[in-house]
Structure 1
């Protein structure tokens, strides 16, 4: 996949928007390097059908980030639509699904629990004394995956 841009889709609960925005800052270096193009539902434009827009972006993503929290797990739209499609694409080998554990919650029985999560040891970002260290660890893990995809 060399000379291409890796497309990243971020699935998150709007209650976690502040943490999503913070994570996006750490991915900015990858964006500026031309390696990635990231998308989340805040990029929908006025008049666009949101369900169709979200599902189209999800269908074209190489990496699907799941920003896991209790609000993420409680969202019916995420569960019924985004997570179902993400896991289907993962099982087919069409995309990499990466759980990013934002806040402590009961996620270990979820369909994505079998996947390697970030940060290391699936320690929730909210439990780090130094949040910069947590987000840097996440960005480093995502960069390694991006480089792996680009080498294919």
Structure 2
């Protein structure tokens, strides 16, 4: 494994080791392809400085996963040593954290956790599901992490023109793997994509970053007007980035007309139209 591969840091309670092992099994599929490395405290060698190794792992993490349970939330060591460091990196470096609810617990009572988008998306603990359902959720989470890593990894291919290297796009879609092909096609232009799954994550990114373009679908989970809500939020910004709605709606749907009224420069369900508009807006040739 190359030391330059992005690293996934997994924070968990020893009581939840079985869930850590099941998630790691999904992530190792990517790790064995050289796409990432996976770190948890079982990587610490006997006799070594465990706190130092953990600090180094926390610093080099590209993505962090929290396996959330009552045991994790009750652990003073985990919250003070691991979680606090990850939250600091989230605030300063934009580190993406994936909280995964593995056992029933009152995570809504925890301020910093309540403001994050948990997985599974409905917040239902993995332990309450039958084995095949839980594995399907773990696979979906692993795929989301892979897409996040791919979108945040610096593109080493030469950009075609100097002004392309700093183009940034925020893409909001609760199923980000749907857009992999299109995203990969723009990496050769030096375009950087931040992928998020809901409006809360999108707004958080927009508060700390500048984007040349925002792309959103219309429906997030059960909220069929999520795209409209994001457009309305964008309009409140002093200099909002252009926004595209890429969703399965068309003329005749009230959301289509309202999206245009709320400032969307394009509403389409056609990937070719989307590609042409991206090239136009980002001045890619």
TM-score w.r.t. structure 1 length? Answer: 0.90
| 1:51 maps onto 2:54 in alignment | no
State the match for 2:116 in structure 1: 115
Is the 1:26–1:139 contact (alpha carbons within 8 Å) kept by the matching residues of 2? yes
Q: What is the CA-CA distance between 1:98 and the residue it aligns to? A: 1.2
Alpha-carbon contact 2:27-2:142 (below 8 Å) kept: yes
User: How big is each residue's C-alpha offset from its partner over 1:97-130, in whole Å with a ceiling of 9 and x where there is no partner?
Assistant: 1111111101123213222222222221112222
Name 1:148's counterpart in structure 2: 151
**Structure 1 position 60, deviation (Å):** 1.1
Q: Secondary structure at the match of 1:116?
A: coil
Which residue does the alignment assign to 1:11? 11
Q: How far, CA to CA, are the matches of 1:68 and 1:123 in structure 2?
A: 11
- Contact (CA 8 Å) 2:26, 2:142: kept in 1 or not? yes
Quote how far apart the aligned CAs of 1:93 are.
2.3
Equivalent pair of 2:9/2:39 in contact (CA under 8 Å): yes
The CA distance in 1 between the partners of 2:94 and 2:135, in whole Å, is 31
Whether the 8 Å contact between 1:101 and 1:117 is mirrored in structure 2 is yes
Structure-2-length-normalised TM-score: 0.50
Higher RCO (CA-CA < 8 Å; seq separation 6+): 1
- Alignment partners' CA distance in 1, 2:151 and 2:126: 24
Taking the aligned partners of 1:104 and 1:114, their CA distance within structure 2 comes to: 18
What residue number does 1:132 align with? 135
Give 1:68's aligned residue.
Answer: 68
Greater CA drift, 113-122 or 82-91: 113-122
Q: Report the Cα distance in structure 2 between the residues aligned to 1:74 and 1:37, rounded to whole angstroms.
A: 28
Structure number with larger C-alpha Rg:
2
| Structure with the higher fraction of residues in helix conformation | 1
RMSD, aligned α-carbons:
1.5
* Partner Cα separation in structure 2 for residue 149 and residue 6 of structure 1: 9
Runs of 4+ in structure 1 off by over 4 angstroms are: none
Q: SS at the partner of 2:93?
A: coil
In structure 2, C-alpha distance between the alignment counterparts of 1:38 and 1:20, rounded to whole Å: 11
How many residues are matched? 149
> Unaligned stretches of 5+ in structure 1?
none
- Listed as ranges, the gaps of 5+ residues in structure 2 are 156-191, 193-285
Which has the larger displacement, 84-93 or 104-113? Answer: 104-113
Q: Give the superposition deviation at 1:94.
A: 4.4
